[in-house]
Amino acid sequence: MSQTTLEERNAIQASVRSLMDDRNTEADVRRVMETTEGHDPAVWAQLVELGLTGLVIAPEFGGAGLGPVELELVMEETGAALLASPLLSSSVLAAGLLAAANDAAVNKRLLPAMAAGKTIATVAMTGDAGTWTADGVAVSARADGDKWLLDGRANYVTHAQLADVLLVLARTPAGIRIFEVAAKAAGVAISPLPTFDRTLRLARIDFAGVAATPVGTAGWPAAEAALQLVLVALAGEQAGGARRMFEKTVDYAKTRIQFGRAIGSFQAIKHMAADLLIEVESATSAARAAATALDAAGEGSNEPADAAVHLAAFACADAYTTVTATAVQMHGGIAFTWEHPAHLYLRRARAQAQLFGAPAYHRERFLTALGA
């Protein structure tokens, strides 16, 4: 179970909120999303200073050794601020995969630099189908003497353009395994993909006889564990983004005058706002419950976290989409302009609803976890 107190968790969340308010304003988001890299190295350095790049990395490798509960709170704040960075890719998904694979030599070599923010890693997991399941793995690995070579394509890889290290799921005659590849290795071709959310960077990676190093022997079970961690983090981002857009909408309803009175005084607007508040609170509860369940499962609880994690995955995705779409309606015409931030949140909500599995997929996994 989480070893931090409520006071300590509140302090962590407040420090991240302060950083986002100071260094990741709407103007900063708009500036960064127009760059090729899609992130601000200066903000990344601040994340390193706060210890966020090593938040879930074990202390023996230079990390903070915290867990899903603290991670979810941090991601609520980054999501509220629309942070564009490889934090989710490197410090959550890749770090989680390495921890689950439990290869001592690889972890000793990679994790300290990742915790220090000097190395950025990402995970190439799914192929063109984008299913985020074992069936979706499209890269194959073949032995060549004492070496391994990778061939095939991985798609929808987050922040691959920034990565120094690629962790690749690939099929072998003995099943799926994890491999480490240098992002600039011979035979690796990284192609940026267009995205609806301009703060998100996705890429397609083609492998042609690429030399690779095996990472542990856990294979797909390690990928499942990493996916659970990143889904909790993503749910936190979605809950945080939904809350921030709700707050902006309520503030607007208090100040926008129509027919001689604030539009927030109209019953229809009040009802819409009340419905959105339910969505926001439900999403926050689901995300935090999933974090708590995953934390307990990691400490040997007999209650698996599958149901809670997949519930949060679809509930937070649906809530974020609903809140942002309704917020545009409540704002009226101004929300359709490029200058207003509403579309930035709507784009983020729509994109994240498909990242690491669509809501329909997570509903099926939730029902399966319940034995339905």
pLDDT average, residue stretch 247-274: 82
pLDDT tens digits along 135-185: 999 999 999 888 999 999 999 999 999 999 999 999 999 999 999 999 999
Share the mean pLDDT of the chain. Answer: 93
Amino acid 263: pLDDT: 67
Amino acid 1: pLDDT: 58
| pLDDT higher than threshold 60 for residue 301 | no
Spell out the domain ranges in the chain.
6-115, 121-219, 221-369
Q: Which CATH class is domain 6-115?
A: mainly alpha
Q: What percent of the chain has pLDDT over 90?
A: 82
Amino acid 300: pLDDT: 52
Amino acid 346: pLDDT: 95
| pLDDT higher than threshold 70 for residue 203 | yes
Amino acid 314: pLDDT: 97
Is-same-fold flag (6-115; 221-369)? no
CATH architecture of 221-369: Up-down Bundle (1.20)
pLDDT tens digits along 311-322: 999 999 999 999
**Residue of 249, 269, 255 lying closest to 341 (CA atoms):** 249
pLDDT-derived band of residue 334, with 50, 70 and 90 as boundaries?
Answer: confident
Amino acid 267: pLDDT: 80
pLDDT average, residue stretch 200-211: 96
pLDDT tens digits along 72-127: 999 999 999 999 999 999 999 999 999 999 999 999 999 999 999 999 999 999 99
Whole-structure pTM value? 0.94
| pLDDT higher than threshold 90 for residue 303 | no
pLDDT tens digits along 242-256: 999 999 999 888 887
Pairing mode, if any, of strands 121-124 and 202-214?
unpaired
Q: What percent of the chain has pLDDT over 70?
A: 97
pLDDT-derived band of residue 265, with 50, 70 and 90 as boundaries?
Answer: low
Return the CATH fold of 121-219: Butyryl-CoA Dehydrogenase, subunit A; domain 2 (2.40.110)
pLDDT-derived band of residue 297, with 50, 70 and 90 as boundaries?
Answer: confident
